[in-house]
């Protein structure tokens, strides 16, 4: 089985490739080749039991999509995206990367002849939903994105569904919760603090909390995100019918829940490293985000998330602090 990972240098992409290298197979199929593509140099996994090639390329450039599907991979994981904040700041870049590049990829697959019809897994986002929200969002909630990023994701979901219905590919889009605890440094995303307030205290550093502790949001660990991708790569898509976009399961937790989970792992000392510093802008942005989902369809299809926020913190400890060598 040949696998193509686009966006392989990103956090989730790296972890997916590491997991593929550890397992050597996808479902019951041994992997013979993995191709890694990103705009920055993707790092090949160590000791992979399959051939690995890497390519630095911008999928939105003419010809690139054709080139990377020429080897007819059996499974494509498309993870590359301009994130929410950047898509809002740079309209043209957001549409170019999040919509046009994916469309070029889907068209390159469609234009292959000889009945080529790969499994195509892409990451969408709960940003396809916009306020007002019910307390718990169900699988039939309409998509009214409140950002350009969410708009681009919702548009690509529609395209993926249409191309799947027409038999050009076997697509599935998974709407990821906010992924925490992200390893590394804080970034400029409005959601950055959800990771920072766990990660920094566990690393002996101070973290800033810009919102009240009763703010509730929808989370999954990076390990769960990789699990979602692997499951989407292997499940029987006949069970999806014509609805190929799925809300992923996750953990609905408040910032207070996060802090209590931190206390159980890092003690009162870790919690004291969180400094409350209200930020009106971040509070306003976060107030427009979903708080919880009933992801019944995905659960019934076998997608599994973390049990609670304690498990999310535990995953961070195990994957980043106890085995950091696996996550450069």
Measured from the CB atom, the residue of 166 and 325 that comes closer to its own copies is: 166
Q: 163 catalytic, yes or no?
A: no
Question: For residues 268 and 258, what is the distance between their CA atoms, to the nearest angstrom?
Answer: 13
CB of 128 to its own copies, least distance (A): 9
Taking each helix axis from N to C end, the angle separating 11-23 and 222-234, rounded to the nearest 10 degrees, works out to 60
What phi, psi does 36 have (nearest 5°)? -110, 125
From the CB of 154, what's the least distance to its own copies, in Å? 5
Q: What's the token pair of residue 87?
A: 């898509």
Confirm if 156 and 103 have CB atoms less than 8 A apart.
yes
Which residue(s) pair with 4 in the sheet? 35, 76
What are the E-state strand segments in the chain? 2-6, 25-26, 29-30, 33-38, 51-56, 75-78, 119-125, 170-176, 178-179, 207-209, 216-220, 245-247, 251-254, 274-276
Rounded to the nearest whole angstrom, what is the least distance from the CB of residue 59 to its own copies in the complex? 18
Alpha carbon distance 182, 198 (integer Å) = 9
Query: 280 is written with which tokens?
Result: 């009106």
Tokens of 245: 């976009």
- Comparing CB distances to its own copies, the nearer of 2 and 96 is 96
In this structure, are residues 26 and 75 in contact, taking their beta carbons and an 8 Å threshold?
Answer: yes
Q: What is the CA radius of gyration of the chain?
A: 19
Query: Phi and psi dihedrals of 152, rounded to 5?
Result: -65, -40
**Candidate list 95, 116, 149, 163, residue with the active-site label:** 149
For 185, the token pair is: 């440094």
Q: Which residues bind its own copies (CB under 8 A)?
A: 91, 130, 140-146, 148, 151, 154-155, 158-159, 161-162, 165-166, 242-243
Task: Return the active site residues.
Answer: 149
């Amino acid at each position: 089985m040949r696998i193509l990972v686009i966006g392989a240098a990103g956090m989730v992409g790296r972890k997916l490739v590491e997991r593929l290298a550890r397992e050597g197979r996808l479902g019951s199929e041994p992997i013979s080749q993995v191709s890694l593509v990103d705009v920055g140099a993707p790092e090949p996994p160590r000791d992979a039991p399959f051939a690995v090639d890497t390519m630095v390329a911008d999928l939105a450039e003419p010809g690139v999509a054709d080139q990377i599907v020429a080897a007819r991979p059996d499974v494509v994981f498309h993870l590359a995206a301009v994130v929410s904040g950047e898509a809002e700041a740079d309209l043209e870049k957001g549409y170019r990367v999040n919509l046009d590049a994916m469309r070029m990829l889907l068209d390159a697959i469609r234009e292959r002849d000889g009945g080529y019809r790969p499994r195509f897994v892409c990451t969408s986002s709960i940003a396809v939903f916009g306020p007002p929200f019910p307390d718990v969002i169900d699988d039939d909630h309409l998509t009214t994105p409140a950002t350009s990023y969410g708009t681009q994701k919702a548009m690509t979901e529609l395209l993926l569904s249409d191309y799947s219905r027409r038999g050009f590919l076997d697509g599935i889009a998974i709407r990821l919760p906010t992924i925490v605890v992200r390893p590394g440094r804080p970034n400029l995303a409005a959601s950055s603090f959800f990771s920072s307030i766990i990660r920094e205290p566990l690393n002996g550093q101070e973290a800033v909390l810009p919102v009240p502790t009763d703010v509730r949001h929808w989370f999954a660990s990076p390990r769960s995100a990789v699990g979602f991708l692997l499951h989407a790569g292997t499940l029987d898509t006949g069970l999806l019918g014509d609805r190929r976009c799925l809300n992923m399961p996750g953990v609905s937790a408040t910032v207070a829940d996060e802090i209590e989970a931190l206390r159980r792992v890092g003690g009162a000392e870790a919690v004291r490293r969180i400094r409350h510093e209200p930020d009106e802008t971040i509070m306003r942005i976060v107030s427009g985000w979903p708080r919880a989902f009933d992801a019944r369809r995905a659960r019934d299809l076998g997608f599994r998330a973390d049990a609670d926020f304690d498990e999310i913190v535990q995953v961070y400890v195990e994957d980043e602090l106890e085995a950091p060598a696996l996550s450069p």
